Each structure stands twice: as C-alpha cells, then as structure tokens.
Amino acid sequence: MCAQLLSTQPYKGTRDFYPDDMRLRNWFFGKIRNSLELAAFEEYNGPMLESLEMYIAKSGEEIANEQTYNFTDRGGRRLAVRPEMTPTVARLVAGKIGELNFPLKWFSIPNLYRYERPQRGRLREHWQVNVDIFGCDGFEADLEVISTAVMLLKGFDADESMFKVHINNRRFFNDVIAAIAGTDAEGSRKVSKVVDRKNKVTREAYEKDMAELGIDGDKIAKIDALYTMSVQEAAALCPESRGACELLELFSALKNAGLDKYCVFDFGIIRGLDYYTGTVFEVFDEAPENNRAMFGGGRYDNLVGLFVKNTNITGVGFGFGDVTLENFLVTHKLIPDIYNQGTKVLVTRFEDVPYEKYIALTDKLRSLGVVSSMYIGVKKFGKQIDYAVKGHYSHVAIMGASELEANTVKLKNLSTREEVTVSLDELDGYFAN
Amino acid sequence: MCAQLLSTQPYKGTRDFYPDDMRLRNWFFGKIRNSLELAAFEEYNGPMLESLEMYIAKSGEEIANEQTYNFTDRGGRRLAVRPEMTPTVARLVAGKIGELNFPLKWFSIPNLYRYERPQRGRLREHWQVNVDIFGCDGFEADLEVISTAVMLLKGFDADESMFKVHINNRRFFNDVIAAIAGTDAEGSRKVSKVVDRKNKVTREAYEKDMAELGIDGDKIAKIDALYTMSVQEAAALCPESRGACELLELFSALKNAGLDKYCVFDFGIIRGLDYYTGTVFEVFDEAPENNRAMFGGGRYDNLVGLFVKNTNITGVGFGFGDVTLENFLVTHKLIPDIYNQGTKVLVTRFEDVPYEKYIALTDKLRSLGVVSSMYIGVKKFGKQIDYAVKGHYSHVAIMGASELEANTVKLKNLSTREEVTVSLDELDGYFAN
C-alpha cells in the first residue's frame, strides 16, 4: 500500500458512469439497439486496440499520430486506441468479403478515444452508434441510412420541429464548382476545404481563400446563391452531373417515402473527410439554443480497398455520439423518469425471523419476475426503509414473526404509502396488477 | 492511399465480433444482465484508460508495468488500458462515498486488456462480468455473491452436475496454518503462496518449498489432511479463529438457503492476490474434459482505502470472463439455436412496383413489431431469396403488381415453404400467431 492517497477522478476527458448515469445511457442505447434490430441491422464489434497503420492509411501520418492515443508494443507493433469505428468495420468486411451476405446492414456501439482538448460535447472518450450499409451502390442504401437516422430520433418521440437532415452530394459539389469556376478535380477538392471552413472564418478570410484558388467576384456570388436554392434549381446548374442525378433521385425517394419534412438540401454540407464520395449529410438540432450539427455521415467507396485488391464494396453510414444525443434529449425534454418504471421490492429483515425465510421470499418474488433484493446486513427497520427510498425501490416487503406464522407478507407501496397484507401463495396476483 | 494492402487480422490476442459472434455474446451477456437486474444489482462503467498508479498501488510496480498496456500521455500522465475492473470500482465508490446508498449491489461488463502471451481461454482482450457488494461486513454479502454466481449459471439451465463452488477463507487459512505450524501472519502469507502453487509443481518441489518455510514431515501431513476434511472438521482445528467462525456461518447459511448442493469446502482455494481478506471461492467446471476453475472471487477489505483516508468500506465480489463462460456453455450444450428465435421478414422487390410501396410495407411490419427490411438494391428475385436464406430471415414478403392491385402480399415461410396471401389490412393477424 502506498502512503499517498490516489485520486478518485477519472482520467481527463473521460467519464465515470455511476448507476444513475449508466441507467440513462442503457436506456437510450437500448432504444437505439431495439430500433436498429427491428430494422434488421446486425450488431458487430471489434477490439479497442488496432494497428495504427489503418488510421495512417486513411487519414495520414500526422493526423493519425496527433489525434490518437498510440504506442508501440514489445513486439514493435504500433497500436492505437481506436479513435473511430469506420476503419475497423472496413477491415471486418474485407476479412470475410467472400462469405458475407451483401448488402450488409451493420451497426455497433463502440467507445472511442480521440486525443484532443476536451470541450463541450467533445470528450476524449465517448460512445458512438455506428450504422453502415455495405454493398449497395444505389440510392436505396442512402435512403435507408437517412431514414434510419430519422427513425432513431423519432424513436425518442422527436419530431420534425426538433431536427432536420441537411443533405448534399460530394460528386455534385465537385461538378457544380467545376461548372461555375472551371476547376479540375483537385481544384474542386481545394474549394471544398474552403467552403467547409466558411462558417468558422470571417467573410473576408473566406473571400481571400477563394481568390487564392482563382475564384472571385461573380463566381463567389454564384456559389453563394447555391445556399438558398432548392435541390432542383441547384441540380439544373450541371444537369449532366452524376452527382446532380443522385441528389434528385434521393430527394424524390425521400419525398415518396414521406421523409421530405425531415430533410433539406444544404450546399454547405461537405464533411471534411476526403473519403466521402457521394451523398453526405448532417443532422441538425433545431432548438434555437442548441442549433448545430449533431452528427453526420455519407457514402464512401474506397475504404474496403485498403485491405483487399480489386474490390468495389461501397459503404454508406453515420456515427452518432452519446454526448450529443444526451444533449439533444435534454434540450427537447425527451427523457422520461427512468427510475419509476416498474416494481422493485426490498425485502426488509427482522432479526427474530430466520434469514432463509427472507431468501425464500426474495427467490419467490424473482421467480415471478419482480425485481427484488433482501436487505443485506443488519440495520434497524427505519434504516432499511431509508435504504429502499434512496435506492428507488417501489415497495418494501415486511415479514415479522406474526406475518411468518400466518404465511403472509405486508407489502408497502413507497409512493402511495398503501400497505396490503398478502398471503405468500397469492403474491403473483398482487404483482400482476 | 498506401500501395501496400493492410492486414485484415485483428491485433494479436484480440477478437473481431462479426454479427454471428456478437449475437452469441449479446445472448449470454443479455441473460446475465437480466438476471442481475432482477436481483436488484445496478450497472456501472468507467473509462478504458486509467491512471497506471492505481494498478501499481494494488499490485506493485513490476506486475503493473509488465502485465498492462501502458504509456505516458503528452501531459506526462502514466496511463494503462484497464487490465481489471476492481480498482476502477473502488475508485468510483471512494469518489462518492458520502452519497452512495450502502450496501451497494453493483455490476459491470467491461472489456479488459492484459499483456500476456495469448493461450486457450486467456486472450489479451476479453469481456468480464464483475459483480460486487460494498458496505456489508456480514455473511449476508458473501452469501449473496455466491448465490448470485450460482443463479447466473442456473439461468443457463446449468445444474449441480455441471459446476461446483469451491469455498475457503483467507483468515481461516492463516489461522489454521499458524495452529499447525506456529507461523506468524507473514509466515502464513508465505505458506499461502506455496499452497497456491501446489498443483502447478511436483510434490517434491512443493515439499522443498514448505521445508524452506520451516514446515516439514508431519506438519505437511496435517496440512494435506485438510484437503479431505469437511468444513466442520477443518474449523475444529482452530475453533477460536474468526475465519473458522465465518466459514461455519457461511456454510450454514448456504445450507439453509438450499445452495449446499452447489458448494464444497476446499482448502486449496487461495486466490493468489494479496488483497483478499476473508471468504474466497472458485467456480469449477465439473465436466471431466473441461475440469478446471472457471472464475472466482472473494472478500477484500482495503481497496477503497487506497483513495480515501480512515474508511472501512468492505467489498466482496467476483469476475467472470466471456471466453470461459462460452467454453462452459459449449461443453455442456447450453447454447440454443440463437438464429431461429423469431420472425424476420425480407420484403422482396420487383422493379415494376414503385419502391415506396415496399417502404410502406416494411414500415407497417416494423410498426407491428416484426423485424423486417426491404431488399436494398436491384437483384433478380432468386438472388433476393438467397439473401433472405443466408441472412436467417424466417419469411419473405412478395408483392408484385397483381398483389399490389389486390391490396395483398404473399408471405412465404422459408422453413416450411408455406405460402399464404394476406390482405395488407390483416397483417397483424398473420404475425400474431
């Protein structure tokens, strides 16, 4: 034992989940898991430690080194604590590419680590729902992924006044920039970086960055105009573009599926990562005090190709973090009272009754499906009641010598204060109500 | 993109969980979670990365350094990927010691990393159910923890022919060794290390190690005799020992609770870790081909004291790994067919029917609580059926132009091959059966 006391704080940027916190997380992830399983998504998982090479291949040495927790094991392997799930899922798909049943509808709820300064809504450890469809090139997969995002939020009784899905297309972006500014693919890519930063810099800085790429004056004005166009107006600017066709097809399908009220075309959605190739989207919180992108995703065509040669398995998906979800649910008051959700019985104890009688009663309650525990230990009756109240028990079961003799138990409802004496043989009837 | 393809293998000693694997893990951990919640245990969790100091304080610098994945962050903090949950839970208890509702009944199902050579049943990453009770010094907590271990296994329909709980007490061990060999506390501790290794070395080496501690000849014979004694006979060797009283009290309570058929006194159970102070136990697989300790636990009195001064919060608990549990379930054939557990409908697609008709049908199925998906993409009908079979779908829903016109759908049961045409308005009736 060391003389110095250890800190009770968790590591910077990480959280402890005491039972009250865990109950909330289990509640919302439980709802999400149920919704996804109902829609025939299947859950997978992978290890916390992965080869650092994967993140370098995807994002470059500098980003991978700086933004992950990484180290070298005794065998000289460079490892990272996983910062995101997409490389892992691409690795899994590549690993069994010949056996898997495409299109895959997969999800996972991993914890992830990123090495950055903790700030509101951005911690070093968080949990993230990852939803992906692999092996379908058509609009159907994009539609299913977006409708799944909507379904998850609707599952919490959120409606279209609370969130909106902002949708764009990376191919369309490149083509319309080319049509307006005459850029080549690399030029459009550079413009996308500037547009992606637009809301984070002054108008002056934005125009300066654009000018450096040869875009000024009325070209900037034409790009500005895209932000207020309907998807049809925007697509008309480059009608031959595959991206424009994809956008029109997706929006038409969203309308036919009755999802248009949740969705809006937004030319400002870029998603910084270079690996997106088609549809990109972000889900915004519509609350004025919390208005911001909550999560997003899109289509990426080449990730499985990092692992297998000559493959063409496309993916489309999104990732949704627990901190953001909890903020959204709190803002819109969508969290019910998660304590008072059912019966939970504390079997109190008197010392003049053999302990095994309480064990038998508790076993009986559990066999009826009633959450229950005997009071563990020896304390005065009042202390046991305090324990039940503080522990969110709904009832206490009281069995003294006289009840025992009469083969009964007194059940006290802790919220109504009602007390009922019930025969031990009729317990099921009491709890069936 | 790098020219070299990346490996699809997970890091050495870790596993990928494809949906088939995940389904199994979710099934058995789901059962365990339900059993624990029924018994009013509450779930908690903590971060994957913890201060290395915690493990050094508990197990010493050498073990902590060698057996954990550890590294230093940019702020100079020494971190470990958690190798076990006990220090984390002690930290959580210490952190809210004034607010928590003792006795606590807590559990967690974390993934853990230990840095050691992978071997059968011992991987570098595994998941472990951790069950603990804090704040009760009496036999009631030991009884509840052991009965919980039994309950979890019974929850899988395991019976007393398949497993046994082997129980000892560290205080009793020290006292009876002192009574036989005249050792002091430190001497008894040294003997415990030799006894703990007994089954791993030759008889000759065992006797030599004992002789070095001053124990030879008839003292060794007296210790040998303890292995075949009943708990009453053993306790009679040092009737004044608190440990002997605790053992007798616990075995009496186990008998009164009807758990004696699952339990046996075993003087050979030491549990190597120095922090155990009272009851210690290990659960053995009774299958001849798999006969070995599956998991264990016991009472530890001082861990919270690493974090808070002058505290006396005792704990008793156990940890049970997923690899061991799966081996046990496989050996005893306790895993049901986890695929064919319910209805799962694939809505197949013809190109001459508008896609949104299939979306509406799928939405309707989901609203009835039926797990379902439309086929995502455009493939021939036969390929869609193949997809349904390979994907463990129980039914396909077939809606061509004629069914659409008649407001019906054809439902085909993929195992019985039965086909029924059902009105869209009567779908609920079909699936209610």
> Which residues pair with residue B107 across a beta bridge?
B43, B131
Strands (E), B63-198: 69-72, 78-81, 104-108, 111-113, 125-134, 163-169
Which residue of chain B is at minimal alpha-carbon distance from A252?
B356
Token code pair at residue A40: 């025939």
Calculate mean pLDDT across residues A172-180.
Answer: 94
> Which residues pair with residue A72 across a beta bridge?
A78
At A32-80, the pLDDT tens digits run 999 999 999 999 999 999 999 999 998 888 889 999 999 999 999 999 9
Calculate mean pLDDT across residues A313-334.
Answer: 96
- Yes or no, beta carbons of B6 and A103 under 8 Å apart: no
Which pLDDT score is estimated for B389?
95
Q: Looking at the predicted structure, is the pLDDT value of residue B45 above 90?
A: yes
Token code pair at residue B308: 């808070």
Token code pair at residue A367: 């066999």
Q: What stretch of H or E contains A125?
A: strand A125-134
Which pLDDT score is estimated for A1?
43
Which pLDDT score is estimated for A62?
87
Question: Among A91-105, A258-272, A275-289, B335-349, which stretch is predicted with the lowest mean pLDDT?
Answer: B335-349
- Yes or no, beta carbons of B105 and A37 under 8 Å apart: no
- Residue B254: name the closest of A45, A416, B246 by CA: B246
Measured CA to CA, the distance from residue B42 to residue A393 in angstroms comes to 12
pTM of the model: 0.95
- Which residues on chain A are in Cβ contact (under 8 Å) with B252? none
Q: Looking at the predicted structure, is the pLDDT value of residue B4 above 90?
A: no
Q: How close does chain B come to A51, measured CA to CA in Å?
A: 7
- Non-local CB neighbours of B298 within 8 Å, separated by 6+ positions: B170, B271, B276, B278, B279, B280, B281, B316, B318
At B107-136, the pLDDT tens digits run 999 999 999 877 776 799 999 999 999 999
Find which of A140, A316, A323, A338 to mutate to test the B interface (most B CBs within 10 Å of its CB): A140
Q: Looking at the predicted structure, is the pLDDT value of residue A291 above 60?
A: yes
- Non-local CB neighbours of B111 within 8 Å, separated by 6+ positions: A48, B48, B125, B126, B127, B128
Calculate mean pLDDT across residues B288-305.
Answer: 90
Which pLDDT score is estimated for B135?
96
At B57-66, the pLDDT tens digits run 988 888 899 9
- When the pLDDT of each residue in chain B is averaged and rounded to a whole number, the result is 94
Q: Looking at the predicted structure, is the pLDDT value of residue B102 above 90?
A: yes
Range B19-47+82-331: architecture per CATH: 2-Layer Sandwich (3.30)
pLDDT band at A274, cuts 50/70/90? confident
Token code pair at residue B61: 């610098």
At B343-382, the pLDDT tens digits run 999 999 999 999 999 999 999 999 999 999 999 989 999 9
Which pLDDT score is estimated for B2?
45
pLDDT band at B272, cuts 50/70/90? confident
Give the percent of chain A with pLDDT over 90: 85
- Yes or no, beta carbons of B91 and A5 under 8 Å apart: no
Q: How close does chain A come to B383, measured CA to CA in Å?
A: 11
pLDDT band at B342, cuts 50/70/90? confident
Query: Is some CB atom of chain B closer than 8 A to the CB atom of A51?
Result: yes
- Yes or no, beta carbons of A103 and B376 under 8 Å apart: yes
Token code pair at residue B246: 């605790």
Measured CA to CA, the distance from residue B109 to residue B98 in angstroms comes to 25
Q: Categorise residue A381: left if φ over 0, alpha if ψ from -120 to 50, beta otherwise.
A: alpha
**Domain residue spans of chain A:** 19-47+82-331, 344-432
> Where would I find the H helices in B49-106?
52-59, 61-67, 86-95
At B138-149, the pLDDT tens digits run 999 999 999 999
- Which residues on chain A are in Cβ contact (under 8 Å) with B60? none
Q: From residue B294, give the alpha-carbon distance in Å to each of B5, B122, B183, B261, B274.
A: 40, 11, 32, 18, 20
Which pLDDT score is estimated for A3?
57
Q: How close does chain A come to B196, measured CA to CA in Å?
A: 22
- Yes or no, beta carbons of A253 and B53 under 8 Å apart: no
- Yes or no, beta carbons of A125 and B372 under 8 Å apart: no
Token code pair at residue A288: 């004025």
- Yes or no, beta carbons of B54 and A366 under 8 Å apart: no
At A212-250, the pLDDT tens digits run 999 988 999 999 999 999 999 999 999 999 999 999 999
- Yes or no, beta carbons of A54 and B113 under 8 Å apart: no
Which residue of chain A is at minimal alpha-carbon distance from B103?
A376
Q: Looking at the predicted structure, is the pLDDT value of residue A272 above 60?
A: yes
Is B19-47+82-331's fold the same as B344-432's?
no
Measured CA to CA, the distance from residue B169 to residue B277 in angstroms comes to 8
Query: Is some CB atom of chain A closer than 8 A to the CB atom of B175?
Result: no
pLDDT band at B275, cuts 50/70/90? confident
Calculate mean pLDDT across residues B17-21.
Answer: 96
Which pLDDT score is estimated for B121?
66
Token code pair at residue B382: 């036969």
Minimum-distance CB partner of B307 among A5, A92, A305? A5
Q: Is cis: bond before A103, omega within 30 of 0?
A: yes
Give the percent of chain B with pLDDT over 70: 99
Distance of CA A174 to the CA centre of its chain: 30
- Which residues on chain B are in Cβ contact (under 8 Å) with A356? 253, 256-257
Single-letter amino acid, residue A109: I
Q: How far apart are the first and last CA of chain B?
A: 54
Query: Is some CB atom of chain B closer than 8 A to the CB atom of A36?
Result: no
CB crowding A291-305: b at 16 or more within 10 Å, else e: eeebbbbbbbbbbbb
| CA triple B153-B155-B160, angle to 5 deg | 45
Query: Is some CB atom of chain A closer than 8 A to the CB atom of B217?
Result: no
Token code pair at residue B167: 């129980």
Minimum-distance CB partner of A46 among B1, B10, B42? B10
Considering only residues B25 and A2, tell me which one the structure prediction assigns the higher pLDDT: B25
Query: Is some CB atom of chain B closer than 8 A to the CB atom of A6?
Result: yes
- Yes or no, beta carbons of A376 and B103 under 8 Å apart: yes
At A12-29, the pLDDT tens digits run 999 999 999 999 999 999
Range A344-432: architecture per CATH: 3-Layer(aba) Sandwich (3.40)
- Residue A341: name the closest of A395, A420, A394 by CA: A394
Which pLDDT score is estimated for A91?
97
Q: Looking at the predicted structure, is the pLDDT value of residue A262 above 50?
A: yes
Which pLDDT score is estimated for A2?
45
Query: Is some CB atom of chain A closer than 8 A to the CB atom of B373?
Result: yes
- Which residues on chain A are in Cβ contact (under 8 Å) with B118? none
- Residue A279: name the closest of A322, A242, A321, A247 by CA: A247
Torsion angle defined by CA atoms of residues B118, B119, B122 and B127, in that order, rounded to the nearest 10 degrees: 60
Query: Is some CB atom of chain A closer than 8 A to the CB atom of B51?
Result: yes
Query: Is some CB atom of chain A closer than 8 A to the CB atom of B66?
Result: no
- Which residues on chain B are in Cβ contact (under 8 Å) with A5? 306-309
Measured CA to CA, the distance from residue B337 to residue B352 in angstroms comes to 38
Residue A431 exposed, middle or buried by CB count within 10 Å (0-12, 13-18, 19+)? middle
Calculate mean pLDDT across residues A347-358.
Answer: 95
